[in-house]
Amino acid sequence: NLRETGESILPGLAAQEVTAAYAGLRPATEDKGYRIRADLARGLVTVGGIRSTGLSAALGIARHVAGLVGRAPREPQHWPQMPMLAQAGPRDWQAAGNGGILCHCELVTRREIEAALNAPAPARSIAGLKRRTRVTMGRCQGFGCTAALAKLTEARFTQPMTCGDKDGD
């Protein structure tokens, strides 16, 4: 299956949660061509501008990128392990009476949402709630929690969630 194949290629995937897989993003660029650039001195390859032909062209693009990079072994990079800032201290979902988890991807509780809505400088938009709590910012990008969030915030924002949130709070 797809997950096993991915894990065999990149073993680090085995420990990652997957909410959804999506293929179909069509980036708008001023050029219609692919953008494939290599900065080998820095060990970087950028592949972009790939529109609807991306799925059928993926293997050819991968071969081209492999040719750019070459097969020469590289020094392994050792990245320092940094703690996730959101995990640095105790979280509300670990405490009793939190009202339940509203956003499962980011482990945001009902109590955290209500605190942000009732703070001295309250969140007045979904963008404000995101900045204060990380709600809707996880793997599913709000697919799993937006309905419950809309119900909880009904009539609390200056404009309904369905109108978008371009101006923040």
| Alpha helices, H only, the chain | 2-9, 54-69, 110-117, 126-133, 146-152
Query: Cα 131–85–10 angle (5° rounding)?
Result: 105
User: pLDDT tens digit string along 110-155?
Assistant: 999 999 999 999 998 899 999 999 999 988 888 899 999 999 998 8
pLDDT at 165 over 60: no
> Residue with structure tokens 């499962």?
104
pTM of the model: 0.56
